[in-house]
Structure 1
Amino acid sequence: MAEQKPTALLKLLDDERAALLRGDYADLDELAPSKQKLLARLGEQALSERNMQRVAHAVRRNQALLAAAIDGMRAARGRMDGLRQQRSSFSTYDKSGQRQQVDAGRTVIERKV
């Protein structure tokens, strides 16, 4: 059996990497079905050790980028939650130095006619 080259898979993994670096997560959804098919067919191909290493390297590289993207989204969500909480309440200290939580209720503007 002649050796096959994983050209289509490597191209797709490069496209996935580019989408991750751009933060274009919609492209990842579009690439996923093709990626699954190409990875499933990988076992049927006669690849050299060198080509298997190239594919493994590209997959590991993209896994690291995906993990970093997920960590970044979690951090952003945590920051947004913190900002939301700051808008609804804040902490202050009383005369004795004890910390006290103050809820920020709705601000009412009184208008006199």
Structure 2
Amino acid sequence: MTKRAMGQLTHLLEVERAALLRGDFETVGALIPEKESLSTQFEDAGAADLRLLAAALAHNSTLFAAAREGVGAVLATLNQQRAARTTLSSYDSSGKATQISQPTRGTERHF
């Protein structure tokens, strides 16, 4: 890997890290083709260069995992809110939990 390619890949990883911290997934996706192109140039890379890249990749990987967990939490919250609008949890006279569902509303037509 040439020093120029190493510098470009390091810069791309920094841009990716900043985009992940901002939640800018569009930018992260736009970086993929260039990262793939640069990643094919590792034949002549030295151990020190590879260690630096590995550290940057590990850091970004941690950010990707956190972003995935955050998106999952948002989806779970949205699903809970949707369920709260359609069902009501309550207890019957014997103390057992029960769900009271609202009928789905369709278009009502009067002729």
Q: Same fold (TM over 0.5)?
A: yes
SS of the residue 1:96 aligns to: coil
CA distance in 2, matches of 1:94, 1:55: 60
SS in 2 for 1:19: helix
Q: Report how many aligned residue pairs link the two structures.
A: 103
Deviation at 1:30, TM superposition (A): 0.9
What amino acid maps onto 1:52 in structure 2? L
> What is aligned with 1:110?
none
Unpaired segments ≥5 residues, structure 2? 106-111
Tell whether 2:78 aligns with 1:80. yes
> Structure 1-normalised TM-score?
0.82
Cα distance in 1 for residues equivalent to 2:60 and 2:98: 46
Letter in 2 for 1:15: V
In structure 2, the partner of 1:35 is 35
Cα RMSD for the two superposed structures:
1.8
1:22 lines up with 2:25 in the alignment: no
1:83-98 paired onto structure 2 within 5 Å: 83-98=81-96
Moved more, 50-59 or 7-16: 50-59
TM (norm. structure 2) is: 0.84
Secondary structure of the 2:40 match is: helix
For residues 96-107 of structure 1, the aligned pairs below 5 Å read 96-105=94-103
